[in-house]
Amino acid sequence: MAKVSVFCPCSERLTSELDDTVSLELSSFPETITDPNTLHIQPDLNFCNQCQAVRCRKCIELEVVTKYCARCLHEMKPEYSFCSRNCLDCPICGNNLIVLPNKNTMTCSMSCSTCDYIYTSEPLERLRPMARVVKTEQNKRESMRMFSDLQKFYLQQRQLELGNEDIPKSIVTEYSKMKVKEYGIYEFMRRSTVRALDEETVESFARLANNESILSYDIGLGDSSRFKSEALPLQTKLRCKYAKRCKACRSSLMKPDHDPTSVKFYKLSNAIDTLPSIRVYPNPNNNTDTSMTPGSIASFVVVVQNALDSDINVNLSAYTELPGGFHQVQLPKSSFTLHRKPESHTKLEVLIDCTPSIELSRGTKASRVALMNRPVIDYSDDDMVYEHRQNYIVVPMKVVIHENSQPQTTVKVPILVSFKGEDVAVAFWCVLELGQCCAAA
């Protein structure tokens, strides 16, 4: 089956007014349709009923509904980023840690269920969440203390630059002591600290020349159990439930329930529930050329299925010759009407009845019975509707591959799909990736 992508026009250049009426016709080819960042599969898109347009991840605005821990399903405050309870992750493999308290020593042992990581906390005076215990031990580390001092230094420096804090006299005195006086560079170089640093540098270069530094490689050959015991557990990151809004009209596109255990949506507007589904298959006729060699005519079967609860009128439009003079597209049947989606479409019998014959296999008894009850389809006739049942239609499509097409290049065909229903009237672009062009025999 060919890959079908839906084009989102949010990256197109906006103009204050249209140049002429020609820009509204099919000859106006979107400039950014060749950009892969503007092409999305249909389940990844939303649909705005107010704007009557598709919305991709760049067209929507996310709002955090709730933050929760995926391990314990506990809701957290918006300012939290990690679980504040007993959910911890292994610093080596990232899997969940098992916490085992020891009443005799008043400590807690944390072991990984996948690797050999084991960590034992310091004796606890009282029961506390392990996330807070790990955070307290992390603050006691020398590296964390140095980071806090460095952070404090830069914050004070920023405040001094902005004039929000007066410079203490002690800092001014220290700066004056550190200032090197004029013509006093030789006295500065004779200081004991500078001289010791220079002597240490000279000795290190001498050891490097004598290959004595090879002994330092023995440090990396030791047992890694020391690292496993000293590495602190990682706090589990929180997950979020997001609500989506359209950036253009600010209408709600998706709003989930704030409960972490709930899968309920108060509002859900997906493109897959509104736009008709487009699926493309190679022509199953054995006598049809599907190799897509330069100069050949490739035959395909296009399935269009209605997803709405009302009848729609669909129109498929394609360039007779694509911009750049590459491929020619022929759609013998481009306008048709599709009936509404059945009410009980989740039942097996109705689901099979709403499935095109080209998509039915003979792997189950129900599908075999459905194929036997349907008339045999002749896919050799390229000027007729192959199948038209329920809420779908199967029509032919021909693509003339250009003679100058290079082998191993993907054949892409843009199709403009417009449909009109009871409460919707939309036109959108689809890009069909039909496969790779083969070398001529």
For residue 163, being part of any structural domain is answered with yes
Q: Are residues 415 and 309 part of one domain? A: yes
- Give the domain CATH number at 283: 2.60.40.10
| DSSP-derived pairing of the beta strands 312-318 and 410-420 | antiparallel
Q: Please, are residues 336 and 276 in contact by the beta-carbon 8 Å criterion?
A: no
Q: What is the pLDDT of residue 216?
A: 47
How far, in Å, CA of 294 to CA of 239, rounded? Answer: 51
> Confidence band (pLDDT; 50, 70, 90) for 222?
very low
Give the rounded percent of residues in the chain with a pLDDT score beyond 90. 27
Q: Tens of pLDDT along 255-301?
A: 999 999 999 999 999 999 999 999 999 988 866 555 778 878 888 99
Q: Tens of pLDDT along 150-170?
A: 888 888 777 777 765 555 666
Number of domains in the chain: 2
Q: Are residues 106 and 191 part of one domain? A: yes
Q: Whole domain around residue 231: which residue ranges?
A: 82-235
For residue 118, being part of any structural domain is answered with yes
Q: Which amino acid is at 392?
A: Y
Q: Are residues 127 and 30 part of one domain? A: no
Tokens of 76: 């957290």
What are the distances in angstroms from CA 334 to CA 316, 413, 416?
5, 15, 11
Q: Does residue 440 have a pLDDT over 80?
A: no
With 0-12 / 13-18 / 19 or more C-beta atoms within 10 angstroms meaning exposed / middle / buried, residue 394 is buried
Using the 3D structure, point to which of 182, 214, 235 is the last residue of a domain.
235
Q: Please, are residues 247 and 258 in contact by the beta-carbon 8 Å criterion?
A: no
Q: What is the pLDDT of residue 192?
A: 52
Q: What is the pLDDT of residue 187?
A: 56
For residue 49, being part of any structural domain is answered with no
Q: Are residues 300 and 425 part of one domain? A: yes
Nearest to 409 by CA among 289, 293, 279: 293
CA 436 to chain centre: 26
Using the 3D structure, point to which of 235, 260, 291 is the last residue of a domain.
235
Q: Please, are residues 302 and 278 in contact by the beta-carbon 8 Å criterion?
A: yes
Q: What angle do CA 269, 275, 281 make, to 5 degrees?
A: 135
Q: Please, are residues 10 and 54 in contact by the beta-carbon 8 Å criterion?
A: no
Using the 3D structure, point to which of 235, 268, 298 is the last residue of a domain.
235
Q: Are residues 181 and 309 part of one domain? A: no
Q: Are residues 220 and 89 part of one domain? A: yes
**pTM of the prediction?**
0.71
Q: What is the pLDDT of residue 139?
A: 78
